[in-house]
Amino acid sequence: MHAKGVLHEDYPACGMGYDQLVLDALGLDKDATLAYIADNSPTYPQFETWVLEQSGGSLDAEAVAKLNATIEGYIHDDDTRKGILAANGLEDDGSILDAVNLNNLDDWYEFHASLG
């Protein structure tokens, strides 16, 4: 979306959170990855093929499992959590703590707000 100029201005083309975690775990260079996406507008399967090519044809299963566990276990700081929940009109009652679900709420809120 960034390469096409349609990514919401509050979202980076490649952030320092999950995006960077994935790049690091897969051994991908950020600039080369963004250039590939900008130059080729790949489909998801095409991008996966490119990622595999960059890694010599296979991914280390242990590294992928570790990355997945890191993503699933990531917790936002209190202010971020409270801000996302408040924007969505939800009480901070401890039922949503993980960043995956908080990020989903944040994305859905922003996408809905962009509808006008």
Read off the pLDDT of residues 35-58 as tens digits, 9 standing for 90 and up.
999 999 999 999 999 999 998 888
Q: Pick from 43, 63, 59: which is nearest to 51 by CA? A: 59
User: Residue holding tokens 């939800």?
Assistant: 90
pLDDT of residue 81: 97
pTM for the complete prediction? 0.74
pLDDT of residue 50: 97
Distance CA 63, CA 80 (A): 28
Long-range interactions of 108-111: CB distance < 8 A, separation 24+: 109/84, 110/8, 110/10
Domain residue ranges of the chain, discontinuous segments joined by +: 1-58, 75-116
User: Residue holding tokens 């995956």?
Assistant: 100
| Residue scoring higher pLDDT (42 or 17) | 42
User: Residue holding tokens 């922003």?
Assistant: 110
pLDDT of residue 6: 87
| Residue scoring higher pLDDT (82 or 15) | 82
Mean predicted lDDT score pLDDT of the chain:
92
